[in-house]
């Protein structure tokens, strides 16, 4: 089966919004439809997401060989803490080498030579195959890369940031920089955690991401994002495509974005993403 390189599957719902059985069904379906990049984090459901993904990987050794598994660790990024957190993530995921390890967000402890050396040692030992960062601003990434370059350390090769029609942490300048530095760009939350589907028009929907993690509301419930949502709704009404389809299509076809992470609770969410990948009418967006 042809691999769908543009789409990665985010496992944030595992163990938090859906149970293990449902998570397994989504993993089965994603692999059957050519998705080979799976993204989790130690923080997702306090490690439950990694545990569920690890169980599925151990139950599917043949399929697992062709997959890329990414996970993330939170600060502080002292050498001792990095070693401890990576060991725990590897154990939850099944003990194998981690294909891609992210620093989940910037922290001042990430800008020390000691922390970068600890990451370099993980790569050199084979415990981690590649390292990246998530939720970094461009100056923070520039500084980290310079330290790695000056000290001949393994460099960050992937950046994962929030990126959708309403809110973007990947400016044109940021994407140009990454392309020039040969750093892969991965956008997450193409539907704005459900904001761009329009389902929160009458307030936060019970049981939704914004309900489960109220802190995410501040990212989207403001004037600029509301204006973008209204525009998307107008395009939807004119084109006949749903807001969700349009938001996914927009994110997947932006220049210099290498992969878009999609998640979900049902296989329909995967079908929705695959359909958006085939969308080819972008004149309707006007930007």
Question: What confidence score (pLDDT) does residue 203 get?
Answer: 62
**Cβ atoms < 10 Å from Cβ of 227:** 11
Contact 138, 169 (CB under 8 A): no
Q: Give burial (CB, 10 Å; 0-12/13-18/19+) of 242.
A: middle
Question: What confidence score (pLDDT) does residue 287 get?
Answer: 63
User: For the whole model, what pTM was predicted?
Assistant: 0.94
Instruction: List the alpha helices (DSSP H) in 60-101.
Output: 61-64, 79-93
**Cβ atoms < 10 Å from Cβ of 152:** 8
Q: pLDDT of the chain along its 287 residues, tens only?
A: 567 899 999 999 999 999 999 999 999 999 999 999 999 999 999 999 999 999 999 999 999 999 999 999 999 999 999 999 999 999 999 988 999 999 999 999 999 999 999 999 999 999 999 999 999 999 999 999 999 999 999 999 999 999 999 999 999 999 999 999 999 999 999 999 889 987 766 566 666 666 666 666 777 878 899 999 999 999 999 999 999 999 999 999 999 999 999 999 999 999 999 999 999 888 788 76
Question: What confidence score (pLDDT) does residue 22 get?
Answer: 98
For residue 76, say if its preceding peptide bond is cis, omega within 30 degrees of 0: yes
Contact 140, 106 (CB under 8 A): yes
Buried b (16+ CB within 10 A) or exposed e, 174-203: bbebbeeeebbbbbbbbbbbbbbbbebeee
Helix (H) / strand (E) element for 26: namely helix 20-32
Buried b (16+ CB within 10 A) or exposed e, 5-34: ebbbbbbbbbbbbbeeebbbebbebbbebe
**Cβ atoms < 10 Å from Cβ of 231:** 15
Question: What confidence score (pLDDT) does residue 222 get?
Answer: 84
Contact 194, 209 (CB under 8 A): yes
Residue with tokens 């994002």: 225
Question: What confidence score (pLDDT) does residue 212 get?
Answer: 62
Q: 7-281 in CATH: which number?
A: 3.20.20.100
């Amino acid at each position: 089966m042809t691999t769908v390189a543009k789409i990665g599957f985010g496992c944030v719902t595992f163990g938090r919004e859906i149970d293990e059985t449902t998570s397994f069904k989504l993993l089965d379906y994603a692999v059957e439809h050519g998705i080979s990049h799976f993204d989790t984090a130690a923080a997702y459901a306090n490690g439950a997401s990694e545990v569920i993904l690890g169980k599925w990987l151990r139950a599917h050794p043949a399929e697992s060989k062709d997959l890329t598994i990414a996970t993330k660790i939170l600060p502080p990024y002292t050498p001792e803490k990095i070693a401890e957190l990576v060991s725990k993530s590897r154990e939850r995921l099944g003990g194998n080498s981690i294909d891609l390890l992210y620093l989940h967000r910037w922290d001042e402890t990430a800008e020390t030579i000691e922390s970068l050396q600890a990451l370099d040692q993980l790569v050199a030992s084979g415990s981690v195959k590649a390292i990246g960062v998530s939720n970094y601003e461009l100056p923070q990434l520039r500084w980290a890369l310079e330290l790695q370059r000056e000290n001949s350390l393994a460099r960050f090769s992937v950046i994962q940031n929030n990126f959708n029609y309403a809110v973007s942490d990947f400016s044109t300048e940021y994407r140009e920089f990454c392309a020039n530095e040969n750093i892969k760009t991965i956008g997450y939350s193409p539907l704005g955690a459900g904001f761009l589907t329009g389902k929160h028009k009458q307030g936060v929907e019970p049981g939704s991401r914004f309900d489960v993690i109220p802190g995410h509301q501040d990212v989207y419930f403001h004037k600029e994002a509301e204006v973008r949502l209204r525009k998307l709704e107008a395009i939807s009404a004119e084109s006949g495509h749903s807001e969700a389809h349009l938001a996914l299509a927009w994110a997947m076809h932006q220049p210099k974005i290498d992969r878009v992470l999609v998640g979900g609770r049902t296989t329909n969410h995967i079908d929705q993403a695959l359909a958006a990948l085939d969308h080819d009418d972008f004149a309707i967006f006007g930007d």
